[in-house]
Structure 1
Amino acid sequence: MLRKFAVAAGVVASLAAATPLLAKGCIRGAIVGGVAGHYVGRGHALAGAAAGCIIAHHHYAEQAKAQKAAARH
């Protein structure tokens, strides 16, 4: 169990290092997804963390694009 969390933390840390501006969304999504996956069933916490990271990253990227577009007009 500890190994799974260590792997998940490593994945989140590497994704956060790749995109520092949107890391907050990835980390938040990974935490929420990991908890949700944990309650779904055994072995789903890592999948939930990965999915949560991807979804939150996409959300914050779209938000940043909208803010840039609004600043131009």
Structure 2
Amino acid sequence: MKASQLRIALAAVTLALATIGTANAAGCLKGAVVGGVAGHYAGHHAVVGAVGGCVVGRHLAKEHAQQQAQQQAVQRHAAAQAQ
């Protein structure tokens, strides 16, 4: 990867992290790494892969957090009903 592409990728990931909360940062970072590697091997498009991976990672992390919150709400409701 050229130095200019690396700088662009770093800037894109930094911008994405600056605009999201810390809860989704892990999803973005994991997705960016996976997407960057996949993009690199799919025709040297690591930057595009990293940005796309960040978006997908954030989406998946958000869905996971919502599912956990829903499960906790069901458990609290069941505990309240048992009392």
TM-score by length of 2: 0.79
Give the counterpart of 1:24 among 26, 32, 43. 26
Q: Percent identity?
A: 38
* Alignment deviations for residues 22-73 of structure 1 (CA, whole Å, 9 cap, x no partner): 101101111111111111113x111111111111111000000011111111
Structure 2: stretches of 5+ with no match in the other structure: 75-83
1:12 is aligned to 2:13: yes
- 1:1-73 alignment to 2 at 5 Å? 1-19=2-20, 20-42=22-44, 44-73=45-74
Give the paired residue count. Answer: 72
Q: CA deviation at 1:17?
A: 2.1
Q: Aligned Cα RMSD in Å?
A: 1.1
Runs of 4+ aligned residues of structure 1 deviating over 4 Å after TM superposition are none
The amino acid that maps onto 2:58 is H
Q: TM-score, normalised by structure 1?
A: 0.89
- Of the two, which has the highest radius of gyration? 2
CA distance, structure 2, for counterparts of residue 41 and residue 51 of structure 1: 15
Structure 1, unpaired ranges of 5+:
none
